[in-house]
Amino acid sequence: MSSQSGRIGKARRRWAQTLRPYAYILPTFVFLFIFTHWPILRTFYVSFFKWNMASPTMEFVGAANYVQAWKTPLFWQVLGNNLLFAAGTVPLTLAVALALALLINQKIRGLALYRALLFYPTMIPMAAAAMIWLWILTPNYGLLNYYGKWLGLPDVHWLGHSTLALWALVLVGVWKRVGYYMVIYLAGLQVIPEHLYEAARIEGAGPWQRFWKVTFPLVSPTTFFVGVMAVIDAFQAIDQVYLMTGGGPGNATNLFIFYIYQNAFRFFDFGYGSAISAILFLILLALTLLAFRTLHRKVHYA
Amino acid sequence: MAHVVLRNITKRFGQVVAVDNLCLEIPRGQCISLLGPSGCGKTTTLRMLAGFEDLDEGEILVGDRVISSSLKRYYLPPEKRDFGMVFQAFAVWPHLSVFDNVAFPLQIRGLGRAEIREKTTTALTYTGLLDVRDSYPNELSGGQKQRIALARSISFNPTVMLLDEPLSNLDPKMREVMRFEIKELQKRFNFTIIYVTHDQAEAMALSDRIVVMDYGAKVQQDDTPLNVYHRPANKFVFGFIGLSNFLQVEAADGGTYLAGAREAGPIGGERPPQALGATPTLACRPGEIELLRDGGVRGLIARRTLLGDIVDYRVRVGAQEVRVQRSVRQPLFEEGAACGLRFTRLHWYA
């Protein structure tokens, strides 16, 4: 009898052991589920319906919303715009962030001030940044054109130009995020031990060679992280589109999230909005997996 | 003719004089150790040689070429000095294979493919890394990593090799193996070695010449390993090299006694030189004292520790404690037992 109760006690203890870690992560999981996982699942679900959000009934339409995306030229244009936007922002952000981090990672006077100045665009809201840039880029009295005229350059309507407008947004995107990634790069650079640079020097490596043969490979974990985050950033850009161009001229600067917003919250086509959200989710998932599968092999941890 | 010359070099960090007017001449092919307590300035000296630090005063020459000069404000950058250097921390590239690590200095120098392959293979062969040439450093042990650093520093045939405590991060067995390997490499390639260490055994085993330094890189003795051990120039050197006893003595009735222990009997042997004054210090190695049943300076065994082959005794004589080390094969003394000390070798310091 006593041995049996002992066995039961042991089994119970084992159960408690198994369950305890789950109990610890439960609070986090509850919130993640409510605010992240459930909306994702719900988006996939809604994407198979026709629904205007107000109506109490949802009409099941199968894959019709996905077919609609496939057949809509604007969907492809938006996708193209966003790929171009990513192709512009990601390498530029990486290069400038690393360059700034290298400059900041030196013993110079007033370092804290420079660091704060470079980080400051990260701290102001995108809406405020968009207003600043709107003014800089405005034709005639905008800052850029004002100084451009001094140099004898023609007056350019940056945000009204069918190709330049997207690059203006790229510029703003890079400017806004580069300080943040600079700080991450700075942390990455400071992990590289000094004696590796000294060894490289004594073995004959000049500054250029030290950068390419020591810094660049050894900061690759940061580059990988920043790269993945910058791609995700590029596909999440909406504020500057909304505030600076409204997706125009034409649809030249219409990016994915803005397109989703238009369809779901302006045209109240919630089913279609959900479908293209799901597509974006899958695109980002695929890109991230691809990055981990291919590039991650080139990442070296010092 | 001297190969490397340090002429009156001084280096200050703020108020601290790290290296104080140091002069050294090192002949070609010599292995010289800079030995001293941590913070004594030996590493700073090496870093000035490498070109990582400027000089506040003095100049450094290799052959007849000035490579650092405070007067001319001229410093040949480290990448132009063509020195080999191995650091205490393993300076290996984690992203390169062993082969590519060793080929690194050769690629930097822009050598041709065939030449890189040949020289790298030679360096790998002499450091015993040929079999692991395709491995990555994180797959290898500390000893192997330091071998990579060593191979890399010899791959381009430097004439001067700077070693900054290269074995300090290795386990004791590997340390001994590597000592021999460094020595072998030197014999084969005949480079001049400047070896910085705080480990006297390492300095003894490797060097042709040891420079013992105190704070400020002040040279206390510059001599052969044998002389540094057996004829220490002063109390500092005696204390720094090997184990040591420093004992207070007093003179009375024409004999010398351990201070305050006249009843224990006279020390015997050679008398302290008059020049050292009334209260000289007796220095002796624990291994240079014999333990007797009868006679000698009488004391009590306060503590006994077995160190494998050696038995370590602390013998109380009056108020002082004398450390004695004897072989286990000699008669053992129990703790609390009475014994006699016979000093076989005396060193007198002020």
DSSP A257-275: HHHHHIIIIIS--HHHHHH
pLDDT band (50, 70, 90) for residue A116: confident
With vertex at residue A208, the alpha carbon angle to CA A207 and CA A211, rounded to the nearest 5 degrees, is: 85
State the pLDDT at residue A3. Answer: 57
User: What would the CATH number be for the domain defined by A66-298?
Assistant: 1.10.3720.10
Q: Fill in the amino acid letter for A275.
A: A
Its domain, for residue B93, covers 2-240
Q: Are residues B137 and B197 in the same domain?
A: yes
d(CA B262, CA B252): 8
What's the token pair of residue B267?
A: 């020390």
A209 has a chain B CB within 8 A of its CB: yes
Q: Are residues B165 and B55 in the same domain?
A: yes
d(CA B96, CA B301): 58
In 3-state terms, what secondary structure has residue A94?
helix
User: Given A193, A202, A206, which is nearest B83 (Cβ)?
Assistant: A202
User: Given A193, A200, A217, which is nearest B89 (Cβ)?
Assistant: A193
| Closest C-alpha to B152, from A220, A301, A196 | A196
d(CA A158, CA A150): 17
Task: Quote the ipTM score.
Answer: 0.82
The strands making up B192-197's β-sheet, listed across from edge to edge, are B83-86, B160-164, B192-197, B31-35, B209-214, B218-223
State the pLDDT at residue B1. Answer: 67
B158 has a chain A CB within 8 A of its CB: no
Burial B9-29 (b: 16+ CB within 10 A, else e): bbbeeeeebbbbebebebeee
Domain end, chosen from B211, B240, B269, is at: B240
Q: Fill in the amino acid letter for A95.
A: A
CB neighbourhood size of A138 (10 A): 17
State the pLDDT at residue B134. Answer: 92
Using the predicted structure, report yes or no on whether residue A292 has a pLDDT greater than 50.
Answer: yes
| Closest C-alpha to A86, from A285, A299, A255, A277 | A255
Q: Are residues B94 and B204 in the same domain?
A: yes
State the pLDDT at residue B118. Answer: 93
Q: Are residues B267 and B147 in the same domain?
A: no
What's the token pair of residue B34?
A: 């800079």
Q: Are residues B97 and B18 in the same domain?
A: yes
Q: Are residues B269 and B208 in the same domain?
A: no
Residues A263, A53 contacting (CB under 8 angstroms): no
Instruction: Give the mean pLDDT of B118-134.
Output: 91
Q: Are residues B73 and B102 in the same domain?
A: yes
Strands B310-317, B320-327: pairing is antiparallel
Contacts of B315 (CB under 8 A, 6+ apart): B291, B299, B300, B301, B302, B321, B322, B323, B324, B339, B341
Domain end, chosen from B191, B221, B240, is at: B240
- Partners of A217 on chain B (C-beta within 8 Å) are 93, 95
Q: Where are the strands (E) in B224-296, listed by range? A: 245-252, 255-258, 281-284, 289-292
The tens digit of pLDDT for each residue in A145-192 reads: 777 777 877 777 777 777 788 888 888 889 888 999 999 999 999 989
Q: Are residues B268 and B335 in the same domain?
A: yes
State the pLDDT at residue B142. Answer: 87
Domain end, chosen from B206, B240, B274, is at: B240
Helices (H), chain A: 2-32, 38-46, 64-71, 73-104, 111-123, 126-137, 143-150, 164-191, 194-202, 207-210, 216-218, 220-236, 239-240, 256-261, 270-294
Greatest mean pLDDT among A115-124, B261-270, B285-294 lies in: B285-294
With vertex at residue A153, the alpha carbon angle to CA A152 and CA A155, rounded to the nearest 5 degrees, is: 120
- Partners of B85 on chain A (C-beta within 8 Å) are 198-199, 202-203
Instruction: Give the mean pLDDT of B12-35.
Output: 92
For B293, list phi and psi in degrees, rounded to 5: -70, -45
Whose tokens are 């003795």? That residue is B221
State the pLDDT at residue A2. Answer: 52
State the pLDDT at residue B32. Answer: 94
Contacts of B3 (CB under 8 A, 6+ apart): B26, B27, B28, B29, B30, B62, B63, B159, B160, B192
- Judged by CB atoms closer than 8 Å, whether chains meet at A202 and B156 is answered as no
- Partners of B116 on chain A (C-beta within 8 Å) are none
Instruction: Give the mean pLDDT of B21-49.
Output: 92
Mean pLDDT of chain A: 85
Ranges A59-68, B64-73, B232-241: which has the least confidence:
A59-68
Higher pLDDT, A149 or B332: B332
pLDDT band (50, 70, 90) for residue A4: low
**Cα dihedral sign for B99, B49, B30, B207?**
negative
Greatest mean pLDDT among A144-153, A293-302, B42-51, B174-183 lies in: B42-51
Question: How far A284 CA sits from the closest chain B CA (Å)?
Answer: 29
- Judged by CB atoms closer than 8 Å, whether chains meet at B91 and A209 is answered as no
Instruction: Give the mean pLDDT of A273-302.
Output: 83
Which CATH number is B28's domain given? 3.40.50.300
Residues B335, B226 contacting (CB under 8 angstroms): no
Q: Fill in the amino acid letter for A289.
A: L
What chain A residue is nearest to B153 in terms of C-alpha separation? A203
Q: Are residues B229 and B278 in the same domain?
A: no
- Judged by CB atoms closer than 8 Å, whether chains meet at A205 and B94 is answered as no
Q: Are residues B249 and B180 in the same domain?
A: no
pLDDT band (50, 70, 90) for residue A250: confident
Q: Is B271 left (phi over 0), alpha (psi -120 to 50) or beta?
A: beta
Q: Are residues B236 and B253 in the same domain?
A: no
State the pLDDT at residue A302. Answer: 54
State the pLDDT at residue B295. Answer: 84
- Judged by CB atoms closer than 8 Å, whether chains meet at A196 and B91 is answered as yes
How many separate domains does chain B show? 2
d(CA A77, CA A69): 11
Strands B289-292, B338-343: pairing is antiparallel
State the pLDDT at residue A1. Answer: 47
Residues B68, B54 contacting (CB under 8 angstroms): yes
The strands making up B65-69's β-sheet, listed across from edge to edge, are B16-27, B2-13, B57-62, B65-69, B74-75
DSSP B44-55: HHHHHHHTSS--
Instruction: Give the mean pLDDT of B49-77.
Output: 92
Percentage of chain B modeled with pLDDT above 90: 55
d(CA B350, CA B343): 19
User: Given B77, B85, B95, which is nearest A199 (Cβ)?
Assistant: B85
Residues B26, B39 contacting (CB under 8 angstroms): no
State the pLDDT at residue B28. Answer: 92
Instruction: Give the mean pLDDT of A72-85.
Output: 89
For chain B, the first-to-last Cα distance in angstroms comes to 37
Percentage of chain B modeled with pLDDT above 70: 100
What's the token pair of residue A240?
A: 């500057």
Using the predicted structure, report yes or no on whether residue A102 has a pLDDT greater than 50.
Answer: yes
Using the predicted structure, report yes or no on whether residue A301 has a pLDDT greater than 70.
Answer: no
Using the predicted structure, report yes or no on whether residue B298 has a pLDDT greater than 60.
Answer: yes
State the pLDDT at residue B116. Answer: 93
What's the token pair of residue A302?
A: 């010092």
Can you give the C-alpha Rg of chain B in angstroms?
Answer: 25
State the pLDDT at residue A5. Answer: 63
- Judged by CB atoms closer than 8 Å, whether chains meet at B50 and A202 is answered as yes
Ranges A34-43, A199-208, A218-227, A287-296: which has the least confidence:
A287-296
Using the predicted structure, report yes or no on whether residue B336 has a pLDDT greater than 70.
Answer: yes
- Partners of A206 on chain B (C-beta within 8 Å) are 79
Q: Are residues B205 and B132 in the same domain?
A: yes
In 3-state terms, what secondary structure has residue B311?
strand
- How many residues are listed for chain B in this entry? 350
